[in-house]
Amino acid sequence: MHTLASPLTVLSGIGPARAAAFARLGLQNLGDLLRHYPRGYVYLGAITPLAEAPADTKCALLLTVATAPVVHTVRRGMVLLKFRAYDDSGTAEITYFNQSYLKTAFEPGQTYRFWGKVERVGAKGNRFALSSPAHERWEEDKPLPDLIPVYRLTEGISQKQMAAAIAGAFAACGEEITDPLPAEMRSANTLCLRSFALREIHTPSGMDAIAIARRRLAFDEFLTFSLGLAISVDRRRAHTAPPCPDADISPLLAQLPYALTGAQTRVIGEIAADMASDEPMSRIVIGDVGCGKTVCAAAAMYIAVKNGRQAALMAPTEILARQHYADLAPLFAKLGIECRLLIGAVTAAEKRKIKTALACPLDRVRLPVIIGTQALLSDGVEFAAPGLIVTDEQHRFGVGQRAVLAEKNRGAHLLVMSATPIPRTLALVLWGDLAVSRVDEMPPGRQVVDTFCVDERYRARLNAFIQKQVDEGGQVYIVCPAVEEQEQDEEALSLDELLAEQAPPRPPLKAAVTYAADLAAALPDLRIGFVHGRLPSREKGEIMRRFADGELDVLVSTTVIEVGVNVPNATLMIIENADRFGLSQLHQLRGRVGRGSRKAFCVLVSDATGDEARQRLSVMCREHDGFAIAEADLAQRGPGDFLAIAGSDTLRQHGETHFRVANLAEDTALLEVASAAARSLLADDPELDAHPLLRDEVSAMFTPAPDVLN
Ligand code: ADP
Ligand code: MG
């Protein structure tokens, strides 16, 4: 008998190679498969007679094969498979391209369900044709499902293979699915059983069932999440933190090339007051991109160190961690404070050294400051004298990691930095335990970044503008969103893909590569760097470093998150296909320029002609305040899109998100219900001793993922 923890290789048809492909999706055991929920469904329930098939949309047809399939070789590399099939209303000629292996798939006299677009041919339009329709064998006594799930895939796995593996997992251990929810909580919230939810999400009996299943699974995610956060907060409250009363930061201020703004001074004062107490600080610093949150964090870290404690700063990506390190290490060095960088790319020997230095019992040799990624969460990173933990949640909800780090260092003060304005209900749950400080003032001399929307006709002028900026000593960012970055088009739920026998090939990098090559050809004198999601992190980091050090004039990047760096010399931000981004994200990107003394520009390139897209982009040309833009974003797009952009798209790519089903924006009511349920559960059972299954799920959700992020 297999269990949810059994490896995928126990399933027939899955050997080591295929298991490795599944592992790329984070699927290691049978339980993972059951939790690999579809990203959508295609409805095939309504069968359309051939004669009534609409001209421009795909539909489901029930056709009986009339003639044996015949293979025609048209030319080299082009093979057609043809046959005829009929229903009561007519006969269609069916053609498959380069799929001669389907020759034996269709038997004359046998009925199949097809899915495709019906073309009308012949002078009278009374003959029909279908090309490469998806197909399934239809048997009288074995009804086909109306709703076909569509899964997130990877190279080497097709939809059919994924569905078969999941069915295999149910057969092997479906009996084992237990329900961790107390029955009263289930009935009080009208939730179905987990086993029912899992079956219906994968093999739905109807739309209603999907909704019921989804609600249950989303509730579970929210409950687990709320439990984890609440437990970590309660445990922190039970601890005391080291008071850090010496808050004289004048030596630090003396090293800064600028004076603090009033807002920064106020925020640092709030932080210092918290840190003077032995009650652990839990504070968030919120402020628009570029307002100067980093120096507030630096001041807090300095105070911790001054009072004999250690400080850690955790960033969500390796590049941001490097950036913080590059900014802060020289500053701390001038103050005689040693600071190291701990990221996935650091050698094992260096990691060992850092860990030893952090845990060193001797005050004078102990490493006082560490900056890193979630590598800071890995085993063996222990602080001898934890004082302050700072997390930079810049563009994402790093709530889970924050909780883990705070949990590991219960007796430390906690400071969070965020630039993402989020709706109030969400803030209550995600940040409800945090006191808020706002940096609501920009450093002086920060100029408005003039923003323009252009289309493809401006290409030549745009290139000339790039050249001009560089000639004048500036640098240029170009963000070029590329479809190939695995951001599958959610609309492209096609059954062709769905029922294909073979897995889709990994989409090529072509668009972005071509773009970079064209640019290099158009601007031969410029030094152009190209960063994309598939580069190893070391190479990415090296290119970013060269751009930051002025060794490159132009940085073309396909991944947005990597752009979260500070290059004050950059004067121009070009965003290609700007209509694909949310406004808040455009604002974050634009915030990368205009940080120095030179006049800076942002150009949004878009060929979108729709009113909505135009109107959205025009907001960017008039508005320069992050919160106003976030509001416009919410108003125009609705919270769903807004949040998808605010972070979860990239999170999902890294398999790092806490929520597979739940949608933070759309399910806020459910989030509140689950959050209240978590509170009442913990009131009676603070450590979940009576609910071991729930406790296991909480610890699974809050266990840091392996450091694959970077
Ligand atoms: P963010 O809040 O987005 O993290 P940063 O902390 O990266 O912003 O600051 C953005 C830029 O502004 C940095 O180059 C930083 O040195 C500069 N800066 C911060 N505070 C001030 C200030 N008071 N006066 C002038 N420049 C400042
Ligand atoms: Mg920052």
How remote is the CA of residue 439 from the centroid of ligand 1, in Å?
11
Shared domain for 296 and 386, answered yes or no, is yes
Rounded Cα distance between 649 and 657, Å, is 9
Shared domain for 515 and 580, answered yes or no, is yes
Ligand with minimal distance to 299 CA: 1
* Domain span at 77: 45-144
Is 15 within a domain? no
Rounded Cα distance between 410 and 297, Å, is 19
The two three-digit tokens of residue 184, written as one number: 């009263």
Question: Residue 544: which of 342, 323, 317 has the closest Cα?
Answer: 323
Rounded Cα distance between 219 and 213, Å, is 10
Is 135 within a domain? yes
**Protein residue closest via CA to atom 13 of ligand 1:** 292
Residue pair 58/495 in contact by the 8 Å Cβ criterion: yes
- Would the CB of 594 count as within 6 Å of ligand 1? no
- Would the CB of 261 count as within 6 Å of ligand 1? yes
- Would the CB of 291 count as within 6 Å of ligand 1? yes
Q: Is the model's pTM score more than 0.85?
A: no
**Protein residue closest via CA to atom 17 of ligand 1:** 292
Is 486 within a domain? yes
**Protein residue closest via CA to atom 21 of ligand 1:** 443
User: What DSSP element (H or E) covers 22?
Assistant: helix 16-24
- Would the CB of 260 count as within 6 Å of ligand 1? yes
How remote is the CA of residue 550 from the centroid of ligand 1, in Å?
19
- Tally of domains in the chain: 3
CATH number, domain with residue 573: 3.40.50.300
Residue 407 confidence (pLDDT): 75
The two three-digit tokens of residue 376, written as one number: 């800071």
Point out the domain boundary residue: 117, 144, 171. 144
The single-letter code of the amino acid at 179 is D
What tens digit of pLDDT does each residue of 374-397 get? Answer: 888 887 899 999 999 999 875 555
Shared domain for 434 and 304, answered yes or no, is yes
Residue pair 679/687 in contact by the 8 Å Cβ criterion: no
Shared domain for 365 and 495, answered yes or no, is no
**Protein residue closest via CA to atom 16 of ligand 1:** 292
For the CA of 596, the nearest atom of ligand 1: 14
Residue 159 confidence (pLDDT): 85
Residue 704 confidence (pLDDT): 60
- Would the CB of 289 count as within 6 Å of ligand 1? yes
Residues contacting 13, CB < 8 A, separation 6+ = 161, 164, 165, 168
Q: Is 589 left (phi over 0), alpha (psi -120 to 50) or beta?
A: alpha
CA atoms within 13 A on the CB side of 208: 0
Residue pair 630/600 in contact by the 8 Å Cβ criterion: no
Shared domain for 482 and 537, answered yes or no, is yes
Rounded Cα distance between 315 and 396, Å, is 10
Calculate the CA 95 to chain-centre distance. Answer: 39
- Would the CB of 324 count as within 6 Å of ligand 1? no
Is 155 within a domain? no
Shared domain for 421 and 282, answered yes or no, is yes
Which of 253, 261, 267, 294, when mutated, tests ligand 1's pocket best, judged by the most ligand atoms within 8 Å of its CB? 294
Is 523 within a domain? yes
Residue 394 confidence (pLDDT): 59
For the CA of 289, the nearest atom of ligand 1: 3
Shared domain for 429 and 457, answered yes or no, is no
Rounded Cα distance between 171 and 674, Å, is 31
- Would the CB of 566 count as within 6 Å of ligand 1? yes
Question: Residue 316: which of 226, 420, 408, 230 has the closest Cα?
Answer: 420
User: What DSSP element (H or E) covers 95?
Assistant: strand 90-97
Residue pair 620/453 in contact by the 8 Å Cβ criterion: yes
How remote is the CA of residue 311 from the centroid of ligand 1, in Å?
20
- Would the CB of 597 count as within 6 Å of ligand 1? no
Rounded Cα distance between 289 and 291, Å, is 6
How remote is the CA of residue 391 from the centroid of ligand 1, in Å?
17
Is 186 within a domain? no
Residue 240 confidence (pLDDT): 92
User: What DSSP element (H or E) covers 138?
Assistant: none
Ligand with minimal distance to 316 CA: 2
Long-range contacts of 505-508 (CB under 8 A, 24+ apart): 505/155, 506/154, 506/155, 507/483, 508/484
Point out the domain boundary residue: 439, 462, 495. 439
Residue 531 confidence (pLDDT): 85
**Protein residue closest via CA to atom 18 of ligand 1:** 292
Is 408 within a domain? yes
Rounded Cα distance between 680 and 268, Å, is 36
Shared domain for 408 and 494, answered yes or no, is no
Shared domain for 419 and 502, answered yes or no, is no
Shared domain for 334 and 417, answered yes or no, is yes
- Would the CB of 657 count as within 6 Å of ligand 1? no
How remote is the CA of residue 651 from the centroid of ligand 1, in Å?
26
- Would the CB of 402 count as within 6 Å of ligand 1? no
Question: Residue 407: which of 221, 651, 237, 659 has the closest Cα?
Answer: 237
The two three-digit tokens of residue 53, written as one number: 């098939």
**Protein residue closest via CA to atom 15 of ligand 1:** 292
Which of 566, 571, 584, when mutated, tests ligand 1's pocket best, judged by the most ligand atoms within 8 Å of its CB? 566
Shared domain for 496 and 427, answered yes or no, is no
Is 515 within a domain? yes
Shared domain for 488 and 367, answered yes or no, is no
What tens digit of pLDDT does each residue of 501-521 get? Answer: 444 444 444 567 788 888 999
Residue ranges, the chain, pLDDT below 50: 483-509, 562-563, 638-656, 706-710
Residues contacting 457, CB < 8 A, separation 6+ = none
Point out the domain boundary residue: 144, 166, 197. 144
Rounded Cα distance between 8 and 11, Å, is 6
